[in-house]
Amino acid sequence: MATTRSGAAQRPNGAPQTKVCQFKLVLLGESAVGKSSLVLRFVKGQFHEYQESTIGAAFLTQTLCLDDTTVKFEIWDTAGQERYHSLAPMYYRGAQAAIVVYDITNQDTFGRAKNWVKELQRQASPSIVIALAGNKSDLAAKRMVEFEEAQAYADENGLLFMETSAKTAMNVNDIFLAIANKLPKSESAGGGAAGGARRLNDADAPRASSCCK
Amino acid sequence: MHEDESCKFAACTFFAKNHPGESCGSNGLPLTPSSITILGRSQRLLTIEHTNLCTYLDIIRGKHERIIVVAEVIGKSLAEYSSKFSYEEIINISLQVTNAMMFLHKQEITHRTLSDDNILLDSSGRVKLFNYGMYYMTNEGNEVPFPLGLPRYLSPETILNGGGPAADVWTFGIILLELCIGKLWKNIKPGPTLRRILTLVHANNPAERIAREHDCLEAYKEIPETVRNLIEKCLKIYPSERATFEELIEDLSKINSKTLEDIKQPRGLMGCKLQYLYYWWQLTGGDIQAELKKNGLIKNSPPILSMPIAILLDGGTIGGKTGALFDRRIAKYSLDLLKNRLSHIPPQDFYPLMHERRKDYDAVALPKIIRERDTEYQFYRLLWFQRLLHGYPYTTQYIRTEAEIDIPPLERGDVWAALLGVVGDIEDQYERIDKETPTPTDRQIDVDIPRCHQYCWLLCGSAGHRTLKRLLKAWLLTNPQYVYWQGLDSLTAPFLYLNFCNEARAFACLSAFVPKFLHKFFLKDNSAVIKEYLAKFWQMTAFHEPELATHLHDINFVPELFAIPWFLTMFSHVFPLHKIVHLWDALLVEGPSLPLFMGVGILRQLRDTLLDSGFNECILLFSDLPEIDIGECVKESIDMCRISPRSISYRRFTNEPEMKDPMDIVEVPLDVLLSETCSRISLADFFSLTCQDKCCVVDIRSNLLYEKSCIEGSINVPYSGVHLGQHELKSLGAHPNKVLTEAIRQKKIIVVASAEDETAQLFSDYLVKCGVSRVCVLHGGVSALHTHVPSLFGVPKKTAHK
């Protein structure tokens, strides 16, 4: 991996060097709100009506190009069922970003999302960038969570907020892009976020930390 | 009649309704196609058996919402007989029809489409109703674009607003009347026919009125009074006034003089179960759809013709494929192909005897998937299993032995139930469980079911969804110590898939499966259970794949990250159903430690990729698991399981009786287990390995202790002299290197014996890092062995040392 990165940094054609940053991102939220579907849409551009439930967690990566930086997301997609809650810290520990997802047609899932935000604020790295995603916006006719309500909540807590639809792809790339833009891309900030929390893959800590070249 | 004999089954086909406009339901999921609803509902019909009903054999979902119904046929339909029947014959036919109808009504199935072309009669006078389940499978006609039933057989209330089972009695009355006075409303179009039927509403005696309309009053009066009475009892305008089939049978039995001669059950191939014949016929290359095409029942029209001419803004369409009426033709299939294929089989082979078990199938060496497609092999297997299952539960041991070879797919549901020891009145037990009362878990179940194995046509329909929910609720209610963990849905799916029409048995299988394979996994706090399981899985990986284990350990790729769904669902959340069945075939035979080795088997298949990959690539690989050859994986895992001493895969959280004998015990506290790379072997297992000369003992105590007394045949590698940093056997010295290399070559099990656990673990870990397979640690060390089996000890031979 390290070689790939340096390869990107030293382009043979002599183009200006782009910074490559890696960030660990975790998706949290009640089950069946569309976490896996959001990731699948973002990573593969696909949508499956009958996306299987996630047990434990799934892992995917995707790269985004910003103006002068290439951002590589290592995405942990977690199980939504409350019972799997005890596994969650394993995944959000050391994450620099989180997307907390709820289903706009279900008020309970919004409540659960708020709990996730609280937990992240308490337990996760203090500099974590949290985005709130109101998914299934294609089902606006059955909306139970008002846009304004969620926006107000997001503002209060300093969260990025968008309503998304994995099905129609609305705002899916945008929310990841917004996170990428908000993430600190300087050496010091990145290092701080990862500090001591890289338990999952300690072995490849140099690669997995968000330091940039 | 010769022709009839070789035609045992027939097919008819129709299109299910297309959903107009919006293709999404309120939950954002696509609406279930009607053909899938039909498929789900019709499964029940496949299980119905009655002498006067043609057995349903298959419901196939073709392209473009096409449904093909395959069922038994006999003789010809009444409509095809040109000559008139005598009253004696009419009464006999009627009696059999009413028998079938009474049976259906008891099953709460309304026929609705009874007509002279689906009542079949053979030369011996046997009557069977064909495709009596149209109304039932199409959800009262709601899932098809055409009306059900021939106009002239519809009862007045059916024409007006639907009507219930009593409509069948009216239809039967009309058929009976037709048998007596000839076809009614011939050459009259459907509309006028319906109008004529409706005008009967004002008649006092509709039967007589019909006869008068047809200028047959004379003939009508000539019908024997007993028969006429019957007709009039059926043709009452008010459904509630009509006789029931039960009453009709009573009347008919009184006037029936002809007793049906017992048809001799044919011997040989034609005497085999119809379902088997159909299955074998398919294996020989029989193709239902091809025959339908040949007979013009399936017509291919250019796809452009099915495009709508216009699409409205609301999604509705104009033009394009218009709903055709139900094509009443059927295609019959000859079994000649199958007869020829099996013609060389000696007659006695149709009746296998338990004590003459055939062992020498040629096909047995072929992969399972090929065996499952081999006509002759499946012929022998099915007949043999049929016999064994017939004797269940007394034949359990035989079934287990045979299942070890393979399980014929057609009887898999039965065989699994037998392997799981399902006995007793399971229907009654299941009946008593409350599966309806809402619980807080329902929401989770409701969101999981529409995501569970939905590529399977059976499981994705509403019938499948409902049944799966009932099964889960029933299981949760009867297991109050457990809770619903996501994944339980996937675990239940294979049982539902194999027992779609036998909910009680699906439940009984699940109930027997969990304690055996997943004891305590569904506890609210299952972390200890899962931790132990994963630790054991990791130890088995180190045992059989040391190099891989070392690599994965180095990159900190722990099983918690990927293997929880594997074991929590016994791989049912990981693989599609056609692979799960093969995995579970082996699982049910081999027992609860096999899954650990299946996990290793999967890793082994991905070995090369994993060894070349870092953490991210590895985890990506498992998030989107590549194609796994299940046949190979099963074979390897069984091999691994069998060469592994039982005690090394010992787990505390099982349903098996607690080990009492110190010779058997290998148990350690969970935190100790989690820290150990290598498994412990019990003294008993070690003893039996030693007796078979299947192990190599490495004694790592000091040379002083070793010289005093040692396990016979062991080598001494004093721990204090080992350089743990050098992962090469050579560094252990020439003699140990030679002995170990030879032991590895002979695939012996390497047992590390020490005075204390800590050094034993460090040294065994070292051996794993050196790439040595099959390393384990003697539980309790040298001293425990000395206490219990002192006879194994001696003084080292001087020749061992140069």
Q: Which 121-150 residues of chain A touch chain B by CB within 8 A?
A: 136, 138-139, 142
pTM of the model: 0.90
Check residue A23 and give its pLDDT. 93
A15 Cβ under 8 Å from any chain B Cβ: no
pLDDT band of B32, cuts 50, 70, 90? confident
Separation CA B111–CA B119 (nearest Å): 12
Interface test with B, best of A1, A36, A55 (most B CBs within 10 A): A55
A46 Cβ under 8 Å from any chain B Cβ: no
Structure confidence by residue, pLDDT tens digits, B207-221: 999 999 888 889 999
Helices B245-255 & B166-181, crossing angle to 10 degrees?
Answer: 30
Strand, helix or coil at A202?
A: helix
Residue for token pair 């004999």: B5
Topology given in CATH for the domain delimited by B670-801: Oxidized Rhodanese; domain 1 (3.40.250)
The CA distances from residue A161 to A96, A132, A174, B664, in Å, are 17, 5, 11, 60
Q: Average of pLDDT values for B712-724?
A: 91
Check residue B1 and give its pLDDT. 37
Which of A31, A86, A202 has its CB closest to that of B447? Answer: A31
> Does B561 sit within 8 Å of A204, measured CB to CB?
no
Interface test with A, best of B460, B486, B556 (most A CBs within 10 A): B486
Structure confidence by residue, pLDDT tens digits, B113-168: 999 999 999 988 899 999 999 999 999 998 998 889 999 999 999 999 877 899 99
Residue (of B622, B759, B620) closest to B678 by Cα position: B759
What Rg do the C-alpha atoms of chain A give, in angstroms? Answer: 17
Separation CA A113–CA B99 (nearest Å): 61
Burial (CB count <10 Å: 0-12, 13-18, 19+), residue B620: middle
Instruction: Note down pLDDT in tens along chain A; length 213 residues.
Output: 333 343 344 444 545 567 888 999 999 999 999 999 999 999 999 999 889 999 988 999 999 988 888 899 999 999 999 889 888 898 998 899 999 999 999 999 999 999 999 999 999 999 999 999 999 999 999 999 999 999 999 999 999 999 999 999 999 999 999 999 999 876 544 433 333 333 344 333 333 333 333
Sequence-separated (6 or more) residues with CB below 8 Å from residue A168: A137, A138
More confident residue, B53 or B269: B53
Q: Detail the DSSP E strand segments found in B458-528.
A: none
Q: What is the ipTM of this complex?
A: 0.82
Structure confidence by residue, pLDDT tens digits, B659-712: 888 888 888 999 999 999 999 999 999 999 999 999 999 999 999 999 999 999
Could you state, in order of their start, the residue ranges of all structural domains in chain B?
4-255, 426-517, 527-644, 670-801
Instruction: Judge whether residue B506 has pLDDT over 60.
Output: yes
pLDDT band of B358, cuts 50, 70, 90? low
Least confident residue range of B41-50, B361-370, B502-511, B783-792: B361-370
Q: Nearest CA of chain B to the CA of A78: how many Å?
A: 11
Instruction: Judge whether residue B801 has pLDDT over 70.
Output: no
Neighbouring CB atoms inside 10 A of B63's CB total: 9
> Does B524 sit within 8 Å of A200, measured CB to CB?
no
Structure confidence by residue, pLDDT tens digits, B562-600: 999 999 999 999 999 999 999 999 999 999 999 999 999
Check residue A15 and give its pLDDT. 52
Q: Average of pLDDT values for B305-329?
A: 74
Please report, rounded to a whole number, the percentage of residues in chain B having pLDDT higher than 90.
71
Question: Looking at beta carbons, which residues of chain A come within 8 Å of B484?
Answer: 83
Instruction: Judge whether residue B311 has pLDDT over 70.
Output: yes
Check residue B290 and give its pLDDT. 87
Tokens of A194: 């990862």
Q: Nearest CA of chain B to the CA of A204: how many Å?
A: 7
Structure confidence by residue, pLDDT tens digits, B11-20: 999 988 887 6
How many helices (DSSP H) and strands (DSSP E) are in chain B?
37, 16
Separation CA B48–CA B53 (nearest Å): 8
pLDDT band of B22, cuts 50, 70, 90? low
Q: Does domain B4-255 correspond to CATH entry 1.10.510.10?
A: yes
Tokens of B230: 């019957």
pLDDT band of B724, cuts 50, 70, 90? confident
Which of A50, A74, A167 has its CB closest to that of B450? Answer: A50
Separation CA A144–CA A146 (nearest Å): 6
Check residue B303 and give its pLDDT. 67
DSSP of B336-350: HHHHHHTTTS-GGGG
Candidate CATH numbers 1.10.8.270, 1.20.1050.10, 1.10.10.10, 3.40.50.300; the one for domain B426-517: 1.10.8.270
> Does A79 sit within 8 Å of B486, measured CB to CB?
yes
More confident residue, A204 or B537: B537
Q: Could you tell me which CATH number the domain at B527-644 has? A: 1.10.472.80
Instruction: Judge whether residue B270 has pLDDT over 90.
Output: no
